[in-house]
Structure 1
């Protein structure tokens, strides 16, 4: 005989949900009275008619299923409302895929300013810087120094002035290029024309502007010999004003002159 727990285990294994014994079972639990009531006969129910599906109204939740609403603080997004302004804004510039690189213009070089006087002493030409921009006067200290240098070199101490001083820039206004390159071309062209008219043995370049625009040299070439295309031998000298302000430069110029003196003295003989 099976006891109640084992009997229920067997029935569960056979998927028997409810059962009713025919006789009283030993060791069985007492039966419930509602299970012994007679079962009412089952009636066949007619099949429900198929109707067109109509839109179903939303089912209302039962009061039990409705949860009590909980108050929540919802942050409303801040919306900026554009306000009309008195001045109209310019239309935005269309964005291009690749903006063109900005063109960087080279800074304009100011034209150099100088004045040069060309003189002839014997078989030498002298291109001398005019510091004041005015022609030499007979009593100018710089002109007196130049006469002393010519006497020491064995040349006539009364040089011949050739033409008007070369002043740069040429024009106060205008579109002509008056930069350093144009100044150099002008000075060299002026000297070429004078040398073709009457050749010279040596060209004295006195002053930094004379060196820079006639021989393309700088102050490091002072007291040296230079070979200039189309002009031949040139001798670089400091300006007359610089020789007067710094007397020690006169000794350097004198030593250089002694080495070059034979060139123009030989021609004079």
Structure 2
């Protein structure tokens, strides 16, 4: 066994400064407690970064600057103020032409009276027509001949089926009044009977509200407005008003000596 002096000599020769035995060595010096404490780690001092030598610096190539080209931009247009359009002249109201009325009238002469009567069927009277028989009864009750004389052909309206001729209500009125006026110039009458709405409207310029009334028509003289024969047959109660008006007007056409 090695003694302590020999052991230290061997360790020094091996350049071992500190060592710890695993087991207790015979003839060894007592261990020092400070040698058994765990060593404190020593942190290395921070080293300042040494600047790289100038010779080692590698120059970095800079990208060439791009030439800026000024592109002319269009100047924004200022929105022009809207110019107010002149107001359009108001359009003249379009004249709507009324459809032509449709009727058929027959002019008769009974004593001193002319009778402009609506033909209910549009065809001339026949001797056995109920409407014609009613007209004969009315003439007889008025003290006039019950066999009236037919004057001319029936007045039918419209005159033309086609064409641009104005055949509205005003044209119909002018035509009917002109037709009756021509007959009056040939032979005057004491009273003009207007029987039926077309006769009242286009010869007397009146309406259904004027039934059983007498009126003065310019150019045609005294006229008496009566309901149509067909209306009197459908509404017999109207005959009483006709009879009442007839009695009031009868003196116009009856002879003075009657």
Question: TM (normalized to structure 2)?
Answer: 0.65
Q: Provide Cα deviations, 1:77-131, integer angstroms capped at 9, x if missing partner.
A: xxxxxxxxxxxxxxxxxx9544454554232210111110000000100000012
CA distance in 1, matches of 2:198, 2:257: 29
Instruction: Determine the structure 2 residue equivalent to 1:253.
Output: 242
CA distance in 2, matches of 1:201, 1:101: 52
CA contact (8 A) 2:97 2:168 kept: no
Matched, 1:152 2:147: no
Question: Deviation at 1:142?
Answer: 0.3
Q: How does 1:77-226 map to 2 (within 5 A)?
A: 97-102=86-91, 104-226=93-215
* DSSP-derived class of the 1:200 partner: coil
CA distance in 1, matches of 2:129, 2:96: 39
Question: Deviation at 1:255?
Answer: 0.6
CA distance in 2, matches of 1:180, 1:267: 39
CA distance in 1, matches of 2:139, 2:177: 24
CA distance in 2, matches of 1:268, 1:201: 16
* DSSP-derived class of the 1:233 partner: strand
Segment of structure 1 superposing worse, 207-216 or 100-109: 100-109
* DSSP-derived class of the 1:189 partner: helix
* DSSP-derived class of the 2:171 partner: helix
CA distance in 1, matches of 2:90, 2:206: 38
5+ long unaligned stretches in structure 2: 1-64, 67-83
CA contact (8 A) 2:197 2:228 kept: yes
Instruction: Determine the structure 2 residue equivalent to 1:232.
Output: 221
5+ long unaligned stretches in structure 1: 1-56, 59-94
Structure number with larger C-alpha Rg: 2
CA contact (8 A) 1:123 1:268 kept: no
* DSSP-derived class of the 2:182 partner: helix
Q: 1:107 to 1:151 in 2, by over 3 A?
A: same
Question: Deviation at 1:267?
Answer: 5.7
CA distance in 2, matches of 1:153, 1:109: 38
Question: TM (normalized to structure 1)?
Answer: 0.62
CA distance in 1, matches of 2:200, 2:256: 25
